[in-house]
Amino acid sequence: MENSPPTIDQRVPHDECPMTSDECPMTSNIPHPPKPMTNSENNGARLRSSAWFDSPELYGWTRKAALLGQGFERDSFEGKPVIGIANSWSELTHCNQHLRQLADAVKRGVWQAGGVPLEFPVISLGEFNIRPTAMFLRNLMSMDVEESILANPLDGVVLLAGCDKTTAAMLMGLASADLPAVLVTGGPQLNAHWRGESLGSCTDCRRYQNELRAGRITHDDWLDLQTAIIRSPGHCMTMGTASTLAILAEMLGVALPGNGTIPAADSARARLAEFAGRVIVDAVAADRRPSRLMTPAAFDNAIRVLHAIAGSTNAIVHLSAVAGRLGVDLPLRRFDELSQTTPTLLNLKPAGSHLMEDFHYAGGTGALCRELADLLNLGCENVAGATLERIVSAARCVNHEVIKPRATPIRVDGGLAVLHGTLAPSGAVIKPSAATPGLLTHKGRAVVFEDHDELLARIDSPDLDVSADDILVMKNAGPLGGPGMPEWGLLPIPAKLLRQGVRDMVRISDARISGTAFGTVVVHVAPESAAGGPLGLVRTGDWIELDVPRRQLNLLVAPDELSQRRSTHANRLRRPERGYARLYHDHILQADRGCDFDFLPRVNPQ
Ligand code: FES
């Protein structure tokens, strides 16, 4: 065994590795770890944390006393970079249940590279539990992340996230704090299996809920499925928002190759976390800050990949918010420009048939990028100092059923589209890749629900006047109206139509949908109805035109009639009396601006 080459579990610093990059198994997905830093290289005087620990005031002395009091030897920390580990672990966030173990792996890596790891908690937002919606608290969590980083003696930070909004908020917070940072997400759950089928949370929860409502499965079947749908720690294993953002973080350079796809239960996930601990120490020495990585070119790469994977519509909102935090101009039209020339390549639920585990073992994000290489900015660097060109050149696709070759894409254009028109002057979003092709050009009569409560009360009523050709419209579910823009946009198909075999209709709202959802669903209509958008003026019986190829969404009502309606329209929105709800109400931006607070972008939006 003495002459055996190092295995992936026996990583050695790049300078000492006897193998070339092509030979080394590590380069197939993850660059070599940096050489551990020495105390002299770290030069304590240059470290941000030295302003805390080397201060002549009494508190400089007490801070070291506190570390000694925590059981650290003096030479464990003196003169070394301090690496924060921001952990969104919570038992209320099942997707993040394993992040404490990942934190231990990160700590190993930090110690190995000559840093001092100190873990701290941040708010955790579990998608299933938080009311009214985790999105309502995303900005609060991003502020917690930013302020916790900046207020403490940290030189760099590793951020542990997983469930949708925890990842979005971490990206926003690290962008605002702009200290060297590595995002490590928890990874997707293992594929679910039920009665011979491979199932994904929660695309198949929604599909079987429809079957239950249509009377095609029993309540006992439904309970049995409940025991099978979530098999392991990790986030939803379809191309939901969590999977999408974990992949896009790689494209933005703040997550390492493999982060997006390695399953949560795979030991490679812990090794990635350990490696991140080494990388962050090197990133501190090289001052690889998010603002140097998350450039306009990197955002273009992220948007290209978003389209190629038919990612979550929510990613448009979150990327817009992250860009704003860095002062990067990212209008909605940029998403659509890149959609026109980016093929959809990934065959993954809800737009396809496979799951995240399959994507990882097919080659992962690197293999997908290899297919797109001529469309990407390959010079972009990541937090480990590796260019995208190097990462792509080391990647291989081993399953073209999952990652389609460029010559035979799933679609010749991107998985998402941005619409404009008289119903959405500031834009709306649809996922054509998960829609019924025949409905992408459709004119129909509106059946309107004033809010989500009315929808729930009436949708299954036998008296509801509705046919399969109608367009379901829901108001007052946007950033202000929801509040928090809940994922209510997948309006249920009326029960009486379900029983007739109808499984999709055009549905329009100012809400969001889960990335795991499917159907011909237009969301993020802006301005929202509660902010005075034309959506608030739609009435049952109006005609609406959806034309995705022309990117149009129009309310076919005469301008004079709309003016008359506007003059008598009563906005039901009420300003909360106090607290976070008041702050949110007063400062939330619309969906096309990323739903950030108006005081958080680095430059004020136009
Ligand atoms: Fe957490 Fe789906 S519930 S990612």
Q: How far is the CA of 75 from the centre of ligand 1 (A)?
A: 42
pLDDT-based confidence at residue 332 (cuts at 50, 70, 90): very high
Q: How far is the CA of 418 from the centre of ligand 1 (A)?
A: 25
Residue nearest atom 3 in ligand 1 by C-alpha distance? 127
Averaged pLDDT score across all residues of the chain: 92
For residue 530, give both structure tokens. Answer: 């509660």
**The pairing of beta strand 156-161 with beta strand 181-185:** parallel
The minimum-distance atom of ligand 1 relative to the CA of 514 is 2
pLDDT-based confidence at residue 516 (cuts at 50, 70, 90): confident
How far is residue 227 from each of residues 67, 384, 408, measured CA to CA in Å? 45, 40, 38
Rounded to whole angstroms, the Cα distance separating 326 from 193 reads 42
Q: How far is the CA of 346 from the centre of ligand 1 (A)?
A: 20
Residue to mutate, 93, 124, 235, ligand 1, most ligand atoms under 8 Å from C-beta: 235
For domain 417-573, the CATH class is alpha beta
pLDDT-based confidence at residue 606 (cuts at 50, 70, 90): very low
Q: How far is the CA of 113 from the centre of ligand 1 (A)?
A: 33
pLDDT-based confidence at residue 6 (cuts at 50, 70, 90): very low
* 231-243: pLDDT as tens digits: 999 999 999 999 9
* 347-359: pLDDT as tens digits: 999 999 999 999 9
The minimum-distance atom of ligand 1 relative to the CA of 95 is 1
Pocket of ligand 1 (CB under 6 A): 95, 127-128, 163-164, 235-236, 240, 242
Which H or E run includes 87?
Answer: strand 82-87
Q: How far is the CA of 383 from the centre of ligand 1 (A)?
A: 26
The minimum-distance atom of ligand 1 relative to the CA of 243 is 4
Q: How far is the CA of 509 from the centre of ligand 1 (A)?
A: 22
Q: How far is the CA of 254 from the centre of ligand 1 (A)?
A: 21
Q: How far is the CA of 241 from the centre of ligand 1 (A)?
A: 8
Residue to mutate, 89, 90, 91, 95, ligand 1, most ligand atoms under 8 Å from C-beta: 95
Residue to mutate, 135, 163, 513, ligand 1, most ligand atoms under 8 Å from C-beta: 163
- Selection from 327, 292, 329, 314 nearest residue 168 by Cα: 314
Residue to mutate, 91, 127, 229, ligand 1, most ligand atoms under 8 Å from C-beta: 127
Identical fold for domains 8-37+81-190+232-393 and 417-573, yes or no, is: no
pLDDT-based confidence at residue 29 (cuts at 50, 70, 90): very low
- Write down the pTM of the prediction: 0.92
> Domain locations in the chain?
8-37+81-190+232-393, 192-225, 417-573
3-state secondary structure 178-206: CCCEEEEECCECCCEEECCEEECCCHHHH
* Three-class DSSP category at 512: coil
Q: What is the mean pLDDT of residues 438-463?
A: 97
**8-37+81-190+232-393 CATH, one of 3.90.1170.50, 3.30.1330.10, 3.40.50.620, 3.40.50.2300:** 3.40.50.2300
Residue-by-residue DSSP string for 261-325: TS-TTSHHHHHHHHHHHHHHHHHHHHT--HHHHS-HHHHHHHHHHHHHTT--THHHHHHHHHHHH
* 341-400: pLDDT as tens digits: 999 999 999 999 999 999 999 999 999 999 999 999 999 999 999 999 999 999 999 999
Q: How far is the CA of 160 from the centre of ligand 1 (A)?
A: 15
Phi and psi (nearest 5°) for 553? Answer: -140, 105
Q: How far is the CA of 232 from the centre of ligand 1 (A)?
A: 12
pLDDT-based confidence at residue 603 (cuts at 50, 70, 90): low
Q: Is 216 a residue whose pLDDT tops 80?
A: yes
Residue nearest atom 2 in ligand 1 by C-alpha distance? 236
What's residue 3's pLDDT? 36
pLDDT-based confidence at residue 517 (cuts at 50, 70, 90): confident
